Amino acid sequence: MFSTISIIIIVALVAALATVSFLYLRVKRAELKYKRGMVVQKVYLQNMSHDIRTPMNAICGFSQILCNKQIRDMLSEEEIAEYGVIIQSNTDLLSTLVNDILDISDMESGKYRMNIGTCNVNDVCRKAISTVKYRCPDGVNMYMTTDVPDTYTIQSDPKRVEQVVMNYLTNAEKHTDEGEIHVHVSLDEHPGMVTFSVTDTGEGVLPENAERIFGRFEKFNTINGGTGLGLPICRKIATQLGGEAKLDLTHKGKGARFIFTHPVG
């Protein structure tokens, strides 16, 4: 009798100890996850404040110069035009930062909507290039090739497809100082899919970071601006459209090649 009671008590104590240990480890993991989250959030807010403040300072500074008649009268037409380009460039950068934040917020809350319609694959690439080409560094040749007829279309959201290509191009511009940025469209690379690719001759990405770069707020080069949200947004859009966004690990040579696949149907 005593032996049976003792066994029951021991089993109960072991079970209680196991439960307490499990709860303790769960709390510690949650605490560690929270601390890591706080660190990421702190770094993100620091980067974000810097990324927002930089274009705002440029916009305010050069706007004040152009709005001051005495100073403006001392400037040449070339200088006035140059300052106007700087204001426009930084306005677009600030708009991109805000849009990235709003997009990722909508995605997390389930409010991000796709407007499916007829999408001309070559046209969306040309539009993406025309939108970002003026920010391309001097000495870098940005161009497009395609294996797809100009009349070829898919059922998709043209603006979202363009956004993926544009985000890839913007990312390439930040990391490419010389050489080229090449957009290509293919139907053969992945059967049953349209493959959009952006290849650059920049600093490249280490294979072990191929997945990390698609994580939110991940930035391996803190010198270049940006929120660290462009690539995660690409992946979410690609997934919602039934495709995939990834780094091409088979790419040889200098730089990096990013792929966006989309079903042909």
Q: What is the pLDDT of residues 28-55, one digit of tens each?
A: 666 666 666 566 556 555 555 656 776 7
* Helix/strand/coil for 200: strand
| Topology annotation, domain 117-263 | Heat Shock Protein 90 (3.30.565)
CATH (residue range 11-109) = 1.10.287.130
Q: List phi, psi (to 5°) of 202.
A: -85, -150
DSSP 123: H
Q: Where in the chain is the domain with CATH 3.30.565.10?
A: 117-263
Reference 214, options 245, 183, 243; nearest CA is 245
DSSP-assigned beta bridge partners for residue 156: 117
By DSSP bridging, strand 179-186 and strand 140-146 are: parallel
Write the pLDDT tens digit of every residue in 58-116: 888 888 888 888 888 888 989 898 888 888 777 776 776 677 667 766 666 666 778 89
Q: Where in the chain is the domain with CATH 1.10.287.130?
A: 11-109
